[in-house]
A and B are shown apart, each in its own frame.
Chain A
C-alpha cells in the first residue's frame, strides 16, 4: 500500500508485515549458532597451535596479525623461534631478539636446504606470552559456549521446577515463591554475581552455578504463567479423568506444551549468560588464565591496547558475534511463534 503515496502507518499498523525478513533473521541466527557450535567442537582440529603452551615467548610475544616466524626444532627437544634464518654450509644462523645465533647442523632437527622446515604462523597475532590469538579464540569458544549452555540448562530446569511448583502447588506456595522471585528480580543480579564470584574461589563449575542461580527467575515466571493457563484446558482435564497421575500429566502433557516459549527464552539467556561470563572473566573473577576465555583474553590485552590492539580486539569481536548469533536466533524464533511481538520486547534481560 505504500504505492498509494501515503505513509504506510496511516493505512494499517502492519505489525505482522514483512515475512521476508523474519525467516532471514532466523536463518542467519541458526547458521551462525551452528557455525559457532561446530567451531567449538572442532577447536582441536581447527586451531593451528596449542592454546596454552608457550613456545619461545621472548621472541613470539606481541607479534602482529599475519606474522610467520621460522621455527627451529633442536635435537635436545627445545623449540626456538627466529625473525630470520639463513642456511650456511656448517649449519644455521638465526636472528633472534636482535642478535645472531648460530646452530651447528647436527643440533637442528628440522634442517632443510633453505633453512628450517617449520614456520609458526600467527594469523590474528600473538599475545603477551607468544601464544597464537586465533588458537586461543577457538578454544575460548568451547569455554564460553559450554558455560552458557550448561548454565542455561540449569537455570531452565530450576525455573521450570519453581514455576511448576507455584502453578500447581496451591495458592500459599504460589504467593511465597512468586514473592521470592520478585525480590530476586529486583536485586541487581550483576552485583550478586560479582560478589559471589569474588568471594568464592572461581572456577568453571563455580561460574556455571553462580550464573544459573542468578538467572532462573524470569523462566520461572514464564513457566508458571504457561502451566497455569494450560492446566485448566480440556485436554488436561481429560487426562486427569482417565486416571493419569499428576507426575505423568506434568511430564507428558503440561511440560511439552509449555516448552516452546521457554526454549525461546533459553536461547536469549544463552547470549546474556555468555556476556555475563565474559564480563566476569574480564574483571578477573571468572575463568582464570591460562585457560582461554574471551573475557580474560580481552582483559589480558587491555594494558597493551596501544602497542598490540589485536590482543583485545579479536576475542571481543568473537564474543560480540556469538551474542549477536544467539540474539538473532531468539529474535527469529520469537517472531515466528508470535508475529505480534515483533519489536515488542528488548532482546534480552539487562545485558551486561
Chain B
C-alpha cells in the first residue's frame, strides 16, 4: 500500500508541474498583456515600459518562468495580483473557503439524493417509480447549470422569495451574533448548493441503481435473504456496501464536474469563490492570479482522482497489488 501511494503521489506531482508549466507559457502566448489591457490607456509608451519593468514582464520568458517557479517552489509565494494589487496567497485564502463550502454542501446533496433515488429505483426495477426516477435523472443531468441556477433564482428568490438570490452573506452580517451569522450563511448557501447538488444527483442515482441491481443478483444476497434478514437490511447494508465501488470511481468524475459546475454557479450566484476570482482574473490578464487558481483547480481535480484511486484500492485489494 505505501508503495502504491507513493507512486501515485509522485505521478500527481509531475502532472501538476506539467499543468503549471503549460499554463504559464499558454498565458504568455495569448495576445494582450496586463499593462496593455489595464484602464491606464492614457499612459505614454514610456510609462508602459516602466510598468512592464516593474512587473518583470520585460525580461526573457524563460527567465520570468524561472523566477516565478522558484518563488512558488521555494517560498510558496504566488506573487502579487496585478488586478487587485494584493498578494495572490491572500486572495486565494479568502476565496477558497467559499468554494469548498459550496462544493462540499453540493456533494452532500448530490450523493444523499442520488443514493436515495438509486436505491428506490433498484428496489423495484421497471416499476413506475423506477421509470420516473430514470426520467428525472435524465432531466436534471441535461440541465445547463447556469440556466438551472437562474430559473431557481427566478422561482425561489424573485417570484416566491424564500431564499436570497446570491452572495455569501447579508449586508449586515458582521453585526449579527455568531449563531445568527451561521444561519445567515446557511440561508445564502441553500439555493446554490441545491442547484449544483440536484444537477449532479442524476448520474449518482443511475450508477447506484445499476450497481445495486448487479449486486442484488449475487448469491450472497440470496443467502442473506435466506438467513431471514429484513429486506431493508439486505438492501441498505449488504447490497449497498458491495455496490459502492463504481460509486467511488464516479467520485473522481464528480469532483471535476463539481469544480466546473461551481465555476458557473459562483458566477450566477455572485458567490465569492475561486470561480468568480478566476473569471475576473482572466479578463484582466492577471497572470499570477490565473496561474494560482489554475494550479488550485488542478490540485483539487488531481486530489479527487487520487482520493478515488486510494479509496478504490482500500475497497478492492486487487487494485493495489497490481
Contacts and interface: CB of A to CB of B under 8 A. Distances in A.
Contacts of B282: 194-195, 198-199
Nearest to B146: A282
A9 B224 CA distance: 13
A309 interface: yes
A15 B278 CA distance: 45
A327 interface: yes
B305 interface: yes
B98 interface: no
A98 interface: no
A7 B262 CA distance: 40
Contacts of B261: 350, 352
Nearest to A20: B126
B115 interface: no
A295 B199 CA distance: 18
Given A195-B23, A199-B26, A306-B158, A350 B256 contact: yes
A170 interface: no
B290 A195 contact: yes
B126 A320 contact: no
Interface stretch (B80-88, B101-109, B186-194, B207-215): B207-215
B225 to A, nearest CB: 6
B175 to A, nearest CB: 28
A166 interface: no
A15 B153 CA distance: 39
B195 to A, nearest CB: 13
B259 A188 contact: yes
Interface string A270-298: 01000100110011000000000001001
Interface string B141-170: 111111100110110001000000000000
Contacts of B250: 346
Interface size class of A (residues with CB under 8 A): 35 or more
Interface string A73-89: 00000000000000000
Contact of B125 (A9, A189, A313): A9
Contacts of B229: none
Interface stretch (B47-55, B65-73, B295-303): B295-303
Contact of A343 (B209, B222, B231, B257): B209
Contacts of A132: none
A14 B207 contact: no
Interface size class of B (residues with CB under 8 A): 35 or more
A186 B139 contact: no
Interface in B205-236: 206-207, 209-211, 213-214, 216-217, 222, 225, 231
Contacts of A10: 222, 225
B267 interface: yes
- What secondary structure prevails in chain A residues at the interface with B? helix
B23 to A, nearest CB: 7
Contacts of B99: none
A346 B143 contact: no
A13 B264 contact: no
Given A8-B126, A305-B150, A191 B217 contact: no
A305 to B, nearest CB: 6
B141 A351 contact: yes
A313 B151 contact: yes
Given A9-B122, A15-B213, A343 B206 contact: yes
Contacts of B35: none
B124 interface: yes
A307 B50 CA distance: 48
Interface in A313-352: 313, 316-317, 319-320, 323-324, 327-328, 331, 341-352
Nearest to A309: B154
B197 interface: no
A21 interface: yes
Contacts of A251: none
A298 B202 CA distance: 24
A18 B253 contact: no
Contact of B260 (A7, A8, A191, A320): A191
A295 B147 CA distance: 9
Contacts of B267: 283
B15 A279 contact: no
Interface in B71-124: 121-124
Contacts of B23: 195
B142 A17 contact: no
A183 interface: yes
Q: 8 closest pairs, A vs B, by CB?
A: A350-B257, A316-B147, A190-B260, A13-B217, A199-B30, A346-B203, A343-B210, A344-B210
7 contacts: A13-B214, A187-B298, A198-B282, A199-B30, A201-B31, A324-B142, A345-B206
